[in-house]
Amino acid sequence: MKLTHNTVNETGLQLFARICISISHETKNSLAIMKENAGLVEDIYLMADKGVPLDTKRIRTIATRIVEQIERADSIIDTLNKFAHSMDEIKQRIDICNLLALVASLSERLFSLRGVTLTVKTDVKPVKVTTNPFVLQNLVWLCLNFAMGVTGEAKIVTISAETWENGGLIRFTGLKELSGIPAGRFPTEKEKALMEVLSAELTTDIKYEELLLILPDENKVCYENEVLK
Amino acid sequence: MKAKILIVDDEEKFANSLAERLSIRDYDAATSVNGQDAIEKVSYCNFDVVMLDLVMPGMDGLKVLREIKKIKPLTEVIMLTALPNVEIGVEAMKRGAMDYILKPCEIEELISMIDRGYARKNEQKERIRATEVSGR
């Protein structure tokens, strides 16, 4: 049991660190664009001081670019804020669809760097479960990392959620090379530890090229008392 | 004459804005949003200095650097990065990058690096020419 707890804590910290790296990188990029555009306005005014007519249309375009980047940075920070709030309470009543949208947003850059497109199917009804959202985010993140490596040439992963018996089901589809994965390679000890905390099950369906994560409702958050006290 | 520059960054708006600022200062600046396109441009166009983003989808900056140095060894490469990572910076210098700069950057600092790179490239060219002449 201790091994499971250590793995869960370690995996959580790793996810937190990777998200921080990704978010800070993206925010820096956004700030760099703002800085260059603010510098451009400065350049244009310096030229105007030397007698070059002031191009107001150009200034308006630059202002629009800066506003776009402010909105982008604002959205990045909102995502980080939502992610941080997932630790407010260990056990929460959540809509899995919202959680998937958040993880997708957090993973966007990682997917883009690996040339994979991630799609979240949002045209579904809310799928509510009581669970540990942070651990679930971790598990979804690890499943996505695995999924990214088995998309084949299509390089598209789709995630969706649906109600399943007494809980919820998350589908990771588009895993074209799932059949080539040797038995025992996935799930690893990390995923297994998180599954244990969530009382979740992970199965693969080679025929439909998908990974299924089944979650119970009102799960036992078994490490709440032992680890976080 | 001023340096001919290629800015390689998957953040297209960053590359375009920087190119615009360099053009205002009479530099001839082109842009590229991925490694493959950058390598093609470098192979048919004589850029003096390439500003190269480290983290990009597909080919990352270090791979692109290696290819550029194979095709045009005299072209000076300055690595661009949004986050300080000394190890990657050192690795880039080992692979032939002239220097690296953090984004967002000061235009004066960048221009000073570009001018230094341009001067270094010209010195190298001169040295090669002198060696060829003395060898005749």
Reported as a single tens digit per residue, the pLDDT across B98-122 is: 999 998 889 999 999 999 999 999 9
Range of the domain at B23: 4-135
Q: Which residues contact A89 (CB under 8 A, 6 or more apart)?
A: none
Average the pLDDT over A19-46 and give the result: 93
**CA–CA separation, B107 vs A195, rounded Å?**
50
Domains and CATH numbers, chain A: 2-85 (1.10.287), 92-226 (3.30.565.10)
Q: Is the pLDDT of residue A98 over 70?
A: yes
CA distance A23 to chain B (A): 11
In 3-state terms, what secondary structure has residue A164? strand
Query: If you ran DSSP here, which 8-state letter would residue B19 be given?
Result: H
Tokens linked to B10: 């998957």
For the domain that residue B42 is a member of, what is the CATH number? 3.40.50.2300
Nearest to A136 by CA among A107, A105, A94: A94
Of A32, A36, A115, the CB nearest to B58: A115
**CA–CA separation, A212 vs A205, rounded Å?**
8
pLDDT at position A3 is 59
pLDDT at position A1 is 53
Judged by CB atoms closer than 8 Å, whether chains meet at B103 and A65 is answered as no
The size of chain B, in residues, is 136
**Number of domains, chain B:** 1
Q: What would the pLDDT profile of A114-154 be if each residue is shown by its tens digit? A: 889 999 987 678 999 999 999 999 999 999 999 999 998 88
Measured from the Cβ of residue B35, the count of other Cβ atoms closer than 10 Å reads 24
Determine the Cα angle at A109 with ends B85 and B22, to 5°: 65
Q: Does B111 touch chain A (CB under 8 A)?
A: no
pLDDT at position A147 is 94
Hey, which of A24-28, A91-95, B6-10 has the most confident mean pLDDT?
B6-10
CB A116 within 8 Å of CB A148: yes
Tokens linked to B24: 């205002």
Average the pLDDT over A168-180 and give the result: 92
HSE value, Cβ hemisphere, 13 Å, CA-based, for A213? 28
Q: Is the pLDDT of residue A229 over 70?
A: no
Judged by CB atoms closer than 8 Å, whether chains meet at B82 and A21 is answered as no
In 3-state terms, what secondary structure has residue A172? strand
Q: What would the pLDDT profile of B63-72 be if each residue is shown by its tens digit? A: 999 999 999 9
Q: For chain B, give the mean pLDDT.
A: 93
pLDDT at position A109 is 85
Q: How confident is the model at residue A179 (pLDDT cuts 50, 70, 90)?
A: confident
Nearest to B35 by CA among B74, B68, B4, B2: B68
A69 contact residues in B (CB cutoff 8 A): 13
Q: Does A66 touch chain B (CB under 8 A)?
A: no
pLDDT at position B44 is 94
CA distance B108 to chain A (A): 11
**CA–CA separation, A153 vs A115, rounded Å?**
10
**CA–CA separation, A69 vs A60, rounded Å?**
14
Q: How confident is the model at residue A209 (pLDDT cuts 50, 70, 90)?
A: very high
Judged by CB atoms closer than 8 Å, whether chains meet at A114 and B57 is answered as yes
Cα A197 to chain center, whole Å? 20
Q: How confident is the model at residue A73 (pLDDT cuts 50, 70, 90)?
A: very high
DSSP string, B22-45: HHHTT-EEEEESSHHHHHHHHHHS
Torsion angle of alpha carbons A95, A185, A155, A157, nearest 10°? Answer: -10
Q: Does B86 touch chain A (CB under 8 A)?
A: no
Helices (H), chain A: 2-49, 56-85, 96-113, 133-148, 189-198, 224-227
CA distance A56 to chain B (A): 16
Average the pLDDT over B85-110 and give the result: 90
Q: Which residues contact A49 (CB under 8 A, 6 or more apart)?
A: none
Backbone angles phi, psi at B101, to 5 degrees: -135, 145
Give this prediction's pTM: 0.85
Cα B127 to chain center, whole Å? 21
Q: Which residue of A has its CA nearest to B105?
A: A32
Q: Is the pLDDT of residue B127 over 70?
A: yes
**In the block, residue with structure tokens 């493959």:** B36
Judged by CB atoms closer than 8 Å, whether chains meet at A40 and B21 is answered as yes
Judged by CB atoms closer than 8 Å, whether chains meet at A69 and B105 is answered as no
pLDDT at position B26 is 93
pLDDT at position B64 is 96
Instruction: Identify the residue with better confidence: B76 or B134.
Output: B76
pLDDT at position B134 is 82
Q: Is the pLDDT of residue A188 over 60?
A: yes
Query: If you ran DSSP here, which 8-state letter would residue A120 be given?
Result: E
pLDDT at position A199 is 92
Model-level ipTM above the cut of 0.85: yes
Helices (H), chain B: 12-24, 35-44, 61-71, 86-94, 107-135
Q: How confident is the model at residue A220 (pLDDT cuts 50, 70, 90)?
A: very low
Torsion angle of alpha carbons B5, B11, B17, B23, nearest 10°? Answer: 10
